[in-house]
Structure 1
Amino acid sequence: MATKTLSSTCFLTLTFLLLFLVTGHQALNSAPYPVVVSTWPFVEAVRAAWRAVDNGLSAVDAVVEGCSACEELRCDGTVGPGGSPDENGETTIDALVMDGVTMEVGAVAAMRYVKDGIKAARLVMQHTEHTLLVGEQASVFAISMGLPGPTNLSSSESMEKWIKWKENHCQPNFWKDVVPKGGCGPYHAKDFVGLYDETCSNTTPVGNIRSSSHIGLHNHDTISMAVIDTMGHIAVGTSTNGATFKIPGRVGDGPIAGSSSYADDEVGGCGATGDGDIMMRFLPCYQVVESMRLGMEPKLAAKDAISRIARKFPDFVGAVFAINKNGVHAGACHGWTFQYSVRNPDMDDVKVYTVLP
């Protein structure tokens, strides 16, 4: 009798252990993270970030790996070196990384001669108490910290694009209501005389309010990426070479925390792409995260942020993705069809989502 009771007890114990192992394994696989989300069908960049985070690296490490892959691949010709020449034919880099745990940010803007934008941004975050370094001094910092350089960030493709633009009388460009003789600069104050309505305030230009008609997928774009790691911590990053034919010195939303991307471990994260000159005035990613903090679902938070911009600038083009701390994601856009890429534990590979304006 004692033997039978012991055997029954052993059987029940073994059954319980098997059930625990099976259900425990299933629970592990059903965790909402790690997750990688990126603007556009930048599949290889998402794969690079996924490999990093799936191997136990932090969210910040994975963001740097993913954005670096896009810089190396020159995604859409608008990330990394070799694309988006300014009015002088030069390519510069803007980048940002943000840690949603510490709320630390590192960023570089209008960086010349250094191709590794996201790595330079991380060095700013790691080794300084600053948030943003700009221009040639950002390049000096990055090189002093061990990044390769100086190097020419232009390419044969970017120079060919710039030459054709010059032949087209430097159109389109980013100057308001001015086409000097010959079409190209340098521009001076006298070129703008008489362009303002004297019956109105001296800040009211004659003509249409600025639109985003010459902003598009292949002349102004950003990789913006969010990663939630296996510990549930979130980080975001961006990298871009900015608007094609921009006025030299221009900085868009790429290195601006809260505009191109934003993260808070308690809530989630956001990434943005589009007409940065307009979008940065609204800090759409900060808006998205704060809306989610107040209980709004990612889809509604993304739509709300975009609609706030569209009410003031109905012709702008842009998009955001939102992801909450549970891995729920959504996108919203205006003026173009937007795509964003995702990889999570339920997927065998990266999945691209399409969002209609």
Structure 2
Amino acid sequence: MQRRKFLKKTGLGATGILSVPFLASWTEDTINVTPESIEKPIIPIAICTWNFKNATAKAWEVLNNGGTSLDAVEQGVMVEEADVNNQTVGKGGRPDRDGNVTLDACIMDKDGNCGSVVYLQNIAHPISVARKVMEETPHVILAGKGAEQFAYEKGFQKENLLTEQSKKEWLKWKEESKYETIINIENHDTIGMLAIDKNGDLAGACTTSGMAYKVNGRVGDSPIIGAGLFIDNEVGGATATGVGEEVIKTVGSFLIVELMRQGKSPQKACEEAVNRIIAKNKNHDTFQIGFLAINKKGETGSYCIHPGFSYSKYDGTGQSNNPSGSFVKEK
């Protein structure tokens, strides 16, 4: 009787397309699928590029206390922006070839709102300025002196971002002024972070000081929505690290989210994004790209060109560092 009611309600009983053996296979358990029988998502969870354990620990603290994914990713990456020993992000970042420390960052929330700052100087936390752009202006991107002035108007303090260590290394570099991107060496890395909170909502943040000794004015993928970071609350999110020019050319993070929308796992989506870059670059042996992704279920994936990239994860099972698969295999 229950089966007849089900078929009548769905219209399947009148179509004649279901065979008798197929109908006979239906049981009460088949029909009465309960919410409890559906696999629950892995949430809350926070992940970030590279093994920035302090960053994911801070993000997890926010999430575990019931905070939003947006607060978690902002506060998580701020840890690295404030760490002067991390010379790829925030205060202490390596300067451009003229000695200027210029910072880029973007942030994106569950509703698709986003904010970004590029070529920002004298402000230690560009991610927080990017959030102000998102929440308190009608714009998405502010650049250079305009972004800096906006930060002062919002109460951010002016700081000298060039530490003695980074200055010493820059002066040493100037002796030869040789520009190269050394694979997995901290001259072109980033922290990109993705999180899902207890409500199942996603957010992401990405922040960097960019390539060391870059041409004055250079901006990479990190503050570009769709390249260095992209979030779709119905699907998942992705972020990137490495040589940003190559990520921009393929709009890498957006590509990964769209591949997940089509049904690919985070892992397969990251692999496809790297393969797209490989296909267009015969010189891929000279640079590193790493992608990190998460889907709505909390499943994660990563992939890179060369061995050495990893990502930090923090969820209800604890914290872990996860080495990434790579196109070029370990020798």
Q: TM-score, normalised by structure 2?
A: 0.83
Residues 98 and 262 of structure 1 are in contact (CA less than 8 Å); yes or no, is this contact kept in structure 2?
Answer: yes
From the superposition, tell whether residues 290 and 74 of structure 1 become closer, same or farther in structure 2 (CA, over 3 Å): farther
Q: How far apart, in 2, do the equivalents of 1:258 and 1:110 lie?
A: 18
Tell me the residue number matched to 2:313: 342
- Computing the radius of gyration over CA atoms, which structure comes out larger, 1 or 2? 1
Q: How far apart, in 2, do the equivalents of 1:33 and 1:252 lie?
A: 31
What do residues 160-206 of structure 1 show as CA deviations (whole Å, max 9, x unaligned)? 111111112x1126xxxxxxxxxxxxxxxxxxxxxxxxxxxxxxxxx
- The 5-angstrom pairing of residues 134-149 of structure 1 reads 134-149=143-158
Moved more, 61-70 or 312-321: 312-321
From the superposition, tell whether residues 120 and 221 of structure 1 become closer, same or farther in structure 2 (CA, over 3 Å): same
Are 1:329 and 2:297 counterparts?
A: no
Q: How far apart, in 1, do the equivalents of 2:41 and 2:270 lie?
A: 24
Tell me the residue number matched to 2:262: 294
Are 1:90 and 2:58 counterparts?
A: no
Q: How far apart, in 1, do the equivalents of 2:292 and 2:54 lie?
A: 18
Partner residue of 1:50 out of 42, 60, 83: 60
* Superposed displacement of residue 76, structure 1: 3.3
- The 5-angstrom pairing of residues 258-269 of structure 1 reads 258-269=226-237
Q: How far apart, in 2, do the equivalents of 1:296 and 1:31 lie?
A: 17
Residues 317 and 336 of structure 1 are in contact (CA less than 8 Å); yes or no, is this contact kept in structure 2?
Answer: no
What do residues 98-152 of structure 1 show as CA deviations (whole Å, max 9, x unaligned)? 01x2111101011011111110110000101111101111011011111112x21
* Superposed displacement of residue 74, structure 1: 3.9
SS in 1 for 2:178: coil
Partner residue of 1:124 out of 124, 133, 156: 133
Q: How far apart, in 2, do the equivalents of 1:344 and 1:102 lie?
A: 23
Residues 80 and 86 of structure 2 are in contact (CA less than 8 Å); yes or no, is this contact kept in structure 1?
Answer: no
- The 5-angstrom pairing of residues 1-357 of structure 1 reads 32-74=42-84, 76-99=86-109, 101-149=110-158, 151-168=159-176, 170-172=177-179, 213-214=181-182, 216-314=184-282, 315=284, 316-345=287-316, 347-348=317-318, 350-357=319-326
Q: RMSD of the alignment, in Å?
A: 1.7
Q: How far apart, in 2, do the equivalents of 1:107 and 1:54 lie?
A: 27
* Superposed displacement of residue 214, structure 1: 3.5
* Superposed displacement of residue 313, structure 1: 1.5
Residues 89 and 158 of structure 1 are in contact (CA less than 8 Å); yes or no, is this contact kept in structure 2?
Answer: no
What do residues 237-264 of structure 1 show as CA deviations (whole Å, max 9, x unaligned)? 0110000000011110010011111111
Residues 215 and 275 of structure 1 are in contact (CA less than 8 Å); yes or no, is this contact kept in structure 2?
Answer: no
From the superposition, tell whether residues 108 and 215 of structure 1 become closer, same or farther in structure 2 (CA, over 3 Å): farther
Deviating beyond 6 angstroms after TM superposition, the runs of 4 or more aligned structure 1 residues are none
Q: How far apart, in 1, do the equivalents of 2:233 and 2:83 lie?
A: 30
The gaps in structure 2 that reach 5 residues or longer are 1-35, 327-331
Residues 84 and 163 of structure 2 are in contact (CA less than 8 Å); yes or no, is this contact kept in structure 1?
Answer: no
What do residues 332-357 of structure 1 show as CA deviations (whole Å, max 9, x unaligned)? 00034210011111x13x10000132
Residues 96 and 256 of structure 1 are in contact (CA less than 8 Å); yes or no, is this contact kept in structure 2?
Answer: yes
From the superposition, tell whether residues 302 and 224 of structure 1 become closer, same or farther in structure 2 (CA, over 3 Å): same
* Superposed displacement of residue 215, structure 1: 5.0
Q: How far apart, in 2, do the equivalents of 1:89 and 1:290 lie?
A: 39
Q: How far apart, in 2, do the equivalents of 1:254 and 1:92 lie?
A: 12
SS in 1 for 2:82: helix
Q: Which amino acid aligns with 2:113?
A: E
Q: Which amino acid aligns with 1:354?
A: P
Residues 94 and 240 of structure 1 are in contact (CA less than 8 Å); yes or no, is this contact kept in structure 2?
Answer: yes
Q: How far apart, in 1, do the equivalents of 2:41 and 2:272 lie?
A: 28
Tell me the residue number matched to 2:29: none
Residues 42 and 75 of structure 1 are in contact (CA less than 8 Å); yes or no, is this contact kept in structure 2?
Answer: no
Q: How far apart, in 2, do the equivalents of 1:136 and 1:87 lie?
A: 19
Q: How far apart, in 1, do the equivalents of 2:208 and 2:236 lie?
A: 23
Residues 113 and 152 of structure 1 are in contact (CA less than 8 Å); yes or no, is this contact kept in structure 2?
Answer: yes
Residues 41 and 298 of structure 2 are in contact (CA less than 8 Å); yes or no, is this contact kept in structure 1?
Answer: no
Q: TM-score, normalised by structure 1?
A: 0.78
* Superposed displacement of residue 274, structure 1: 0.4
* Superposed displacement of residue 157, structure 1: 1.1
